[in-house]
């Protein structure tokens, strides 16, 4: 980690404060390129090293060597010592002008063409399959951190950051959206790569609907909205080690997915249901999803 690098980047604008603090658009004084700066303050150990953060960042740096087209580039990592107990780590990413949320908002009615949605979805799943094969969870996938370049290239951003920021997160009053969160996360169970597939399913539906599929305002409300669509899971599928019991929800049958996402094709609807399986172990993987007949359409 470079200790002097931050001066190389000249901030030009604030691009918004997310759960991870303020993000700046900056110019690299050497190349003239625009970059995005994200900083986090981390506690250091007795040797002055933020150990878990160093490990997480090393993992992100390792992914860089693959130069994957659907992953935002981590160009640099700078660490500045603030105090003996605290280091400021700045991650320098390539800058992409728009995210999927803006992209969907800008699409003229009646929305994105079907083949366009298929292409965006394929790229999103390619990026995820790459992360998952390297044992990286995204954990916070939503339209705001899926970037779309002017040429229509999808790049996943903010992956792996949830772990770097987790200790820091408790301090920020930012309301984190629950709309893309998998049931096992809402129920506080242990979770793994299938959480990202659930989020991708929610995003897939949103590309057609141009509004969120499940827009809950609390964990219980979010689960209720999910069960309104996929039905209340049977008792034997309900996780055993959770405080929120199945009895808290009224029984309801699944709705035909075409009612919620009318424009989707039959194969698209089949894929969506495999992504929105309540049971994470039965949920389709990113690699398997890429082989789905939906991607052979058109």
pLDDT of 42 above 80: no
Segment 236-292, tens digit of pLDDT: 999 998 999 999 999 999 999 999 999 999 999 999 999 999 999 999 999 999 999
| 241 vs 228, higher pLDDT | 228
Q: Which residue has the higher pLDDT, 215 or 19?
A: 215
Q: What is the pLDDT of residues 55-87, one digit of tens each?
A: 777 778 888 889 899 999 888 888 777 777 777
Tell which wins on pLDDT, 37 or 168. 37
Note the pLDDT of residue 20.
59
pLDDT at 168: 47
The catalytic residues are 140
Lowest mean pLDDT among 61-65, 122-126, 223-227, 273-277: 61-65
Residue 38 is predicted with a pLDDT of 84
Q: Which domains does the chain have, with CATH numbers?
A: 5-94 (3.30.200.20), 98-296 (1.10.510.10)
Give the span between the Cα atoms of 107 and 121, in whole angstroms: 16
Find out whether 295 and 118 touch, Cβ atoms under 8 Å.
yes
Within 10 angstroms of residue 94's Cβ, the number of other Cβ atoms is 17
Question: In sequence order, which residues have a C-beta less than 8 Å from that of residue 131 and are 6 or more positions away?
Answer: 63, 71, 137, 138, 156, 159, 160, 196
| 127 neighbors 71 (Cβ within 8 angstroms) | yes
pLDDT of residue 297: 82
Q: Using one digit for the tens of pLDDT, what is the confidence trace for 132-183? A: 999 888 988 999 999 999 899 999 988 766 665 554 444 444 557 899 999 9
pLDDT of residue 51: 66
> pTM of the predicted model, to two decimals?
0.88
Q: In what order do the strands lie in the sheet with 146-148?
A: 98-99, 146-148, 154-156
Dihedral angle sign, alpha carbons of residues 176, 136, 163, 89: negative
**Is residue 128 scored above 50 in pLDDT?**
yes
Q: Give me the pLDDT at residue 50, please.
A: 64
Encode pLDDT of 8-34 as tens digits: 899 898 886 665 567 889 999 999 999
Average pLDDT score over residue span 192-202:
97
Across the range 85-108, mean pLDDT stands at 88
């Amino acid at each position: 980690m470079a200790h002097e690098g931050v001066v190389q980047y000249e901030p030009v604008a604030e691009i918004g404060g997310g759960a991870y603090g303020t993000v700046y658009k900056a110019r690299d004084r050497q190349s003239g390129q625009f970059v995005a700066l994200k900083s986090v303050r981390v506690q250091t150990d007795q040797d002055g090293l933020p150990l878990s953060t160093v490990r997480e960042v090393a993992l992100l740096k390792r992914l860089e060597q693959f130069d994957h087209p659907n992953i935002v580039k981590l160009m640099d990592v700078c660490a500045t010592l603030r105090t003996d107990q605290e280091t400021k780590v700045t991650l320098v990413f390539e800058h992409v002008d728009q995210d999927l949320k803006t992209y969907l908002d800008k699409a003229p009615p009646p929305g994105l063409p079907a083949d366009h949605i298929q292409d965006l979805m394929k790229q999103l799943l390619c990026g995820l399959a790459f992360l998952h094969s390297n044992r990286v969870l995204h954990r916070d996938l939503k339209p705001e951190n899926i970037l779309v370049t002017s040429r229509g290239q999808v790049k996943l951003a903010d992956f792996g950051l949830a772990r770097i920021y987790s200790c820091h997160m408790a301090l920020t009053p930012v309301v984190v959206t629950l709309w893309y969160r998998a049931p096992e996360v809402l129920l506080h169970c242990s979770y793994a790569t299938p959480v990202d597939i659930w989020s991708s399913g929610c995003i897939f539906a949103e590309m057609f609907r141009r509004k969120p599929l499940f827009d809950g305002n609390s964990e219980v409300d979010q689960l209720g909205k999910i069960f309104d669509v996929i039905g209340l899971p049977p008792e034997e599928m309900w996780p055993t080690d959770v405080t929120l019991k199945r009895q808290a929800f009224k029984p309801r049958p699944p709705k035909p997915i075409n009612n919620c996402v009318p424009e989707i094709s039959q194969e698209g609807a089949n894929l969506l249901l495999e992504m929105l399986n309540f049971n994470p172990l039965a949920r389709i993987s990113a690699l398997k999803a890429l082989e789905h007949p939906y991607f052979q359409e058109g």
